[in-house]
Structure formats: structure tokens, C-alpha cells
């Protein structure tokens, strides 16, 4: 699925409860391609507003935990979805454990998304800040160029958030 098509589908689905439910069902279906496309659209939805998927946070975390390594693209998309939809402390802590697992993945993309996801979670859950900072520092020291770039992005986001709090 192309990026523009995924974004267009996300815009169509955002406010429609039935469509969101069907999207989530697609992520749990038997068709691996549909799971991947559904996760991609969910990722685009959560870029704008994660709230439509809040009620599915726990089940999406369970799905991410169980997805096979062969479904790497689905895992990439779902990693960010999970980080964005985790809206309770318990969910954020569970999502952080999933980000730590993604950080150990063979895929560079998965590790990059783990850094971004952990950064998002730490922005909402102060108790995760130390773990997130360690992950960012490790990426800056030992990571690929893409991981270092993602780590710098996370740091910039944290600085912006601190300025908003102070301002």
C-alpha cells in the first residue's frame, strides 16, 4: 500500500467507529497482507489522533507481542500504534516492554521505531524516562545512521515538550 493511499484511508476511517472496528478486525484476520495494510492505516490514523484506537490498546499490544518475525512490516507499523494508543500507566509500561523487545530485533526499522515509540511513552510516563534515555544514548553511540537520526528526533521532541511545560 502506498503512503498516500494509507493516509487517505486513515482520513476516511478516523471518525467512523464501525470502520475503526473493521480496521482492527483486519489486523487480527488470517490474511497477512491485510494485517500489514490495516496496521499501516492504523499507524496513519494515530499520527493525527490516537483516540479512535484507545479502546483497542490492550488487544493491539497482545497482537504485537504475538506477531511472528516474518511479519516485520506489520510489527513496524503496530509498534508505533501501540506506543501512541497506550493511554493508561499500565498500558504505557506494557508498551515499553514491547519497545524494548523491538529494540533487540534484527530489523533496523524495528529498532528505529522502538526508539521513537519509547520516546513517545517516556513523554507521557515519567518513570520510563531513564530507560528511554538509555535507549537513545545507546542508539547514538552504537546505532545505524537511521537509529541515530531517530534518537536525535526523540531528543528534540523531549526538548520541545519541556519548553511547552515551562512556557
Q: Which of 46, 104, 54 is nearest to 80 (CA)?
A: 46
Q: Which of 74, 154, 70 is nearest to 120 (CA)?
A: 154
Cα four-point dihedral sign 67, 123, 2, 146: negative
For residue 114, is pLDDT > 60? yes
**pLDDT reported for residue 131:** 96
Mean pLDDT throughout 101-120?
Answer: 94
Q: Which of 94, 67, 73 is nearest to 82 (CA)?
A: 94
Write the burial class of residue 153 (CB in 10 Å: 0-12 exposed, 13-18 middle, 19+ buried).
Answer: middle
Compute the distance between CA of residue 46 and CA of residue 83 in angstroms, rounded to an integer. Answer: 10
Taking all residues of the chain, what is their mean pLDDT, rounded to a whole number? 91
**pLDDT reported for residue 51:** 93
My answer on whether 70 and 113 are in the same domain is no
My answer on whether 156 and 77 are in the same domain is no
In percent, the amount of the chain with pLDDT more than 70 equals 91
pLDDT digits (tens, 9 = 90+) for 137-156: 999 999 999 999 999 999 99
My answer on whether 44 and 62 are in the same domain is yes
My answer on whether 64 and 110 are in the same domain is no
pLDDT digits (tens, 9 = 90+) for 18-46: 888 999 999 999 999 999 999 999 999 99
Range of the domain at 54: 1-85
Amino acid at each position: 500500500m502506498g503512503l498516500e493511499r494509507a493516509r487517505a484511508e486513515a482520513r476516511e476511517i478516523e471518525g467512523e467507529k464501525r470502520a475503526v472496528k473493521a480496521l482492527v478486525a483486519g489486523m487480527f484476520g488470517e490474511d497477512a497482507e491485510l494485517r500489514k495494510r490495516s496496521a499501516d492505516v492504523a499507524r496513519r490514523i494515530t499520527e493525527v489522533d490516537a483516540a479512535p484506537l484507545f479502546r483497542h490498546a490492550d488487544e493491539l499490544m497482545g497482537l504485537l507481542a504475538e506477531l511472528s518475525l516474518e511479519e516485520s512490516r506489520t510489527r513496524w507499523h503496530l509498534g508505533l500504534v501501540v506506543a501512541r494508543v497506550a493511554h493508561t500507566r499500565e498500558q504505557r509500561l506494557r508498551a515499553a516492554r514491547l519497545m524494548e523487545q523491538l529494540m533487540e530485533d534484527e530489523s533496523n526499522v524495528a529498532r528505529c521505531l522502538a526508539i521513537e515509540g519509547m520516546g513517545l511513552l517516556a513523554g507521557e510516563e515519567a518513570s520510563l524516562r531513564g530507560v528511554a534515555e538509555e535507549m537513545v544514548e545507546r542508539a547514538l553511540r552504537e546505532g545505524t545512521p537511521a537509529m541515530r537520526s531517530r534518537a536525535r528526533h526523540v531528543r528534540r521532541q523531549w526538548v520541545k515538550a519541556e519548553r511547552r511545560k515551562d512556557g
